[in-house]
Amino acid sequence: MNTRQMTVRDWLARSQSLIALLLMVIAMSLLSESFLTAENGLNILRQISVNLCLSIGMTLIILSGGIDLSVGAILALSGAVAAGVLKNGIAIPALDILLQFTVPGAIAAGILTGLLLGWFNGTVITRFRLPPFVATLGMFSIARGLTMLWTGGFPITGLGATFGFIGTGLFLGVPMPVWIGAGLVAVFVVLTRKTRFGRYLYAVGGNERAALLTGLRVNNVKVWVYTLGGGLAGVAGLLVTARLDSAQPNAGLGYELDSIAAVVIGGTSLSGGRGTIMGTVLGCLIIGVLNNGLFLLNVSPFWQQVIKGFVIIAAVAIDKANSKSDDA
């Protein structure tokens, strides 16, 4: 009985987002000629792909009952590390050698940085029992500082066309970031729905105490979740760096808020245990369509921010009402 109610509510949460998205798409296409074109559609998909990577990771983290405020900072540092090792290599003066990284090497370095930082987050949260808010706030500052140190405050530019391909290239007419985003969505939908790890995740997020009592290695799950979140932030960092052909020391500022917004709008509960990857995809789409549509209508970008704020509030209010009926 309980599982049935949960899936019905999940479906409700998901349909609300879907309905909102459909309404917006209809409204925008009526108001603007250039909205409903293939080029604009691909534009929207490309623009949400970075947020999508971050939001997938954020979904997992929020599902586990936690939060991660450092994803934007991890994005910046991963992108900077990848760009740095690709452009300048790593010099080891003691041995008089230079490790000149290749493009796959730089990509690996960037993702590894993200995984490492995420792992650090997870370890601090589980080992020292710090609230995720505090631990990731600390990591935010650490990662920002490290990015500044690594780049010296300057952007790292001129990374070459091969590296740039993952950000700007087209495959079968569709931008590479969209393919990467879609691939990640597929992987993580399978992870959350079909694997044991996914079930553990929902259990930990839904009721951590109960999960612990049934013998689940809750800490293990949490560390994995933050590590994956960090790795996904690393991928996002690579996408941003490749797209701009430069690693900016201030990349990703404010991205954590956008990813939390997408997760929340997509129907995931901030208290954990409820939500889906597809819901997050919808959340990203809603934000993307909103931004793009308002741009095409010449609405000031500052109004876009205001409207986005209202949408977040509305989504969370609906989510709260959902969870109230949960207890009832």
Nearer to another protein, 51 or 126 (CB): 51
Both tokens of 218, joined, read 């809750």
Residue 183 CB neighbour total at 10 angstroms: 10
Quick one: which of 7, 36, 104, 133 contacts another protein (CB under 8 A)? 104
Q: Rounded to an integer, what distance in angstroms lies between the CA atom of residue 218 and that of residue 174? A: 40
Site membership for another protein, residue 163 (CB under 8 A): no
Residue 106 tokens, joined = 């730089």
Q: Which of 34, 79, 44 is nearest to 234 (CA)?
A: 79
Q: Quick check: 36 binds another protein (CB under 8 A)? A: no
Q: Are 227 and 69 in contact (CB under 8 A)?
A: no
Q: Which of residues 248-307 bind another protein (CB under 8 A)?
A: 248-251, 253, 292, 294-299, 301, 307
Length reported for the chain: 328
CB-CB contact of 224 with 218 (8 Å): no
Question: What is each CA distance from 215 to 129, 146, 178, 196, 200, in whole angstroms?
Answer: 19, 38, 39, 14, 11
Stretch that binds another protein, among 57-65, 146-154, 192-200, 260-268 (CB under 8 A): 146-154
In this complex, which beta carbon is closest to another protein, that of residue 201 or of residue 286? 286
157 lies in the binding site for another protein (CB under 8 A): yes
Instruction: State which of positions 71-100 bind another protein (CB under 8 A).
Output: 85, 89-93, 96-100
Q: Does 243 bind another protein (CB under 8 A)?
A: yes
Is 326 in a helix, a strand, or coil?
Answer: helix
Q: Is 29 in the site for another protein (CB under 8 A)?
A: no
Could you list the residues that contact another protein (CB under 8 A)? 8-9, 12, 15-16, 19-20, 23-24, 27, 30-34, 39-40, 43, 46-47, 85, 89-93, 96-102, 104-105, 108-109, 152-155, 157-158, 164, 168, 240, 243-246, 248-251, 253, 292, 294-299, 301, 307, 314, 318, 321, 325
